[in-house]
Amino acid sequence: MKKFVNDPKDFVPEMLRGIALANPATLRYVPEYNLIMRADAPSENKVSIVQGSGSGHEPAHVMIVGKGMLDAACPGDVFSAPPMDYVLETTKLLNSPKGVLHIINNYTGDRMAFDMGREMAEAEGIRIGTVIVDDDVAVKDSTWTVGRRGVAGNFFVIKAIGAAAEKGAELDDLVALGNRVNAVSRTMGMALTSCTPPAKGSPLFDLGDDEMEMGVGIHGEPGRRREKLASANEIVDELLEAVASDLPFKKGDDVALMVNGLGGTPISELYLVYGRAHAQLTARGINVRRNYVGEYCTSLDMAGCSLTLVRLDEELSSLLEAPAEIPNRIF
Amino acid sequence: MAQEGFDGIELVVRTMAQTAVDNETYFSELDAVVGDGDFGYSLARGFEIVLATWDDLDRSDAATFLRKVAVIITSRVGGTSGPLWGTAFMRAAAAAGSDRIGAAEALAMLRAAITGIKERGQSDVGDKTLLDALVPAVDALEGYLAAGQGAASAVTAAAKVARASAEGTSSMLAKRGRAAYTGERSIGSPDAGAIGVAVMFEQLAGAWPG
């Protein structure tokens, strides 16, 4: 597999340096703690919002740092949780009188690092709230988790919390809001190919030319099952059924629909997927009020996609609509 | 003015650190039988930094000192050992208080460390972990101190219990940690973490003044 890479162990810092150089006015890179933060954070009048996870999921989460979303992202190495002392130092750097909110995807390594970082930071007098995201309906437990995994639905939790925090919401209210958004978000993904971590240099798992992995995790973890490659419509219908029946989403519901590329699928294919998903939801009497098509939470260069549905209400819709200024832009 | 009893805390941490560094190969060999063989290596990488930065560690009080040690151990010891041992120091720090540290305070700190290890590792006595040496040793320590023994002889007696209990893990089936993956194969060899605790207690017994 051909990749842009120098020394694999510099992969993440080199990426972070690039992001910082591309956004000099708004972002600050702190190499000691592998951290990207808003240049104007922390603010005395706002809860600081921090997300930590492994790298390899860009634009999540280092590229959604900015006004109206994250105040800092604290990434680990590719597919590795950030070390606990980085969590602690990030939390200290972002300390605000209104508190610091940790948003964590439900993976064992991330949770342990953040549990400990939180305990250490609280011992130093910092107020911390935690929101755990676990929107993936594919599997109950996995090689990486106890319970469901946190995947692309994370975007909605961050967007809603970021908008509310910008308006001055208190820490406890933001935790409740995050839990509420997570509770109405459901995702399932599938892989057409494996991904190739830079340090490994070869595909993470073997998937035959005529095979696909339904319910794949964003680190290439096994999903529900491996099967013969099907048509795009058949794949979309299966993902949609798994996601829609889980909450369940019902006739008359207003929803946001996200078609998320896993890193190696062209935009053309993502819109083909979106078209089918949108039409199928409409046929079920479910109203697609907001849509998101593109790369939000990737798995390096994996070909494949995930579908996310979020049940909307008025408050959530307005938080998702609120403006944000993040480096992930095309203008 | 230094917190009374702080020298005891320093002695315990220093002895633990030196023991981990001196026994790197031994602990890894023990772990290789049932685990993945990195226990001694992992532990030594953290504790060698404790020794290297020893003179510069913040000694404002016992809690601050132990929190610094906790950060080093958690972030520099790989695998699950880092969070487990780091949590032990963190919880001991939280229980240290700011007054004189005597026998009662030391026992409270050890109990807090044990609770932290159980919570973080989702494990308990009988799972073939370091808890199978640490818990009986602390129980014994408490008993000897309550019976009026001096600190030095109580630590010596507790070390004997730690050793016997650690050796006793040979007959147990591992239920937690990497060793659990090897299932039945774990029977017949002691748990590396439990032996590690026993050696630390023995070294402490030798180093305790009086």
Q: What ipTM was predicted for this assembly?
A: 0.71
Nearest Cα residue to B71 out of A62, A12, A124, A108: A124
In-domain check, residue A232: yes
A251 and A141 fall within a common domain:
no
A85 and A215 fall within a common domain:
no
pLDDT at B182: 59
- Enumerate residues 6+ apart whose C-beta is below 8 A from A31: A13, A16, A17
Q: State how far residue A77 is from chain B, nearest Cα, in angstroms.
A: 14
pLDDT in tens, A216-248: 999 888 889 999 999 999 999 999 999 999 999
Residue of chain B whose alpha carbon sits nearest to that of A83: B75
Would residue A219 show up in a list of annotated catalytic residues for this protein? yes
Would residue A61 show up in a list of annotated catalytic residues for this protein? no
Does residue B1 register a pLDDT over 70? no
Domain, as residue range, for A274: 186-321
**DSSP letters spanning A152-172:** TTHHHHHHHHHHHHHTT--HH
In-domain check, residue A227: yes
A163 and A301 fall within a common domain:
no
Ordered by where they begin, the domains of chain B are 6-205 (1.25.40.340)
Q: Cβ contacts (< 8 Å) between A119 and chain B: which residues?
A: 87, 90
A127 and A203 fall within a common domain:
no
Average pLDDT of A161-169?
98
Q: Is B67 on the interface with A (CB under 8 A)?
A: yes
Q: Cβ contacts (< 8 Å) between A113 and chain B: which residues?
A: 83
* Chain B residues 95-154 within an 8 A CB cutoff of chain A: 120
Does the distance separating the beta carbons of B83 and A116 come in below 8 Å?
Answer: yes
The CATH number assigned to the domain holding A210 equals 3.30.1180.20
Average pLDDT of B164-187?
79
Q: Whole-angstrom Cα distance, residue B144 to residue B138?
A: 10
pLDDT in tens, A281-295: 999 999 999 999 999
In-domain check, residue A8: no
A199 and A156 fall within a common domain:
no
In-domain check, residue A192: yes
Does the distance separating the beta carbons of A112 and B120 come in below 8 Å?
Answer: yes
Average pLDDT of A95-113?
94
Q: Is B177 on the interface with A (CB under 8 A)?
A: no
- Number of structural domains (chain A) is 2
In-domain check, residue A168: yes
In-domain check, residue A326: no
Domain boundary among A166, A183, A200: A183
In-domain check, residue A1: no
Residue B59 sits at φ, ψ, to 5 deg, of -110, 30
A146 and A174 fall within a common domain:
yes
Residue A181 sits at φ, ψ, to 5 deg, of -65, -45
Asked whether A305 and A218 are in contact (CB, 8 A), the reply is no
Q: State how far residue B148 is from chain A, nearest Cα, in angstroms.
A: 34
Q: Cβ contacts (< 8 Å) between B69 and chain A: which residues?
A: none
Q: Is B57 on the interface with A (CB under 8 A)?
A: no
Reported confidence tier of residue A2, pLDDT bands at 50, 70, 90:
confident
Among A86, A112, A123, the residue with its CB nearest the CB of B83 is A112
Q: State how far residue B156 is from chain A, nearest Cα, in angstroms.
A: 33
Instruction: Provide the percentage of residues in chain A whose pLDDT is more than 70.
Output: 99
In-domain check, residue A6: no
A50 and A148 fall within a common domain:
yes
Average pLDDT of A188-195?
96
A45 and A154 fall within a common domain:
yes
A176 and A191 fall within a common domain:
no
Does residue B78 register a pLDDT over 80? no
A211 and A279 fall within a common domain:
yes
Q: State how far residue A189 is from chain B, nearest Cα, in angstroms.
A: 29
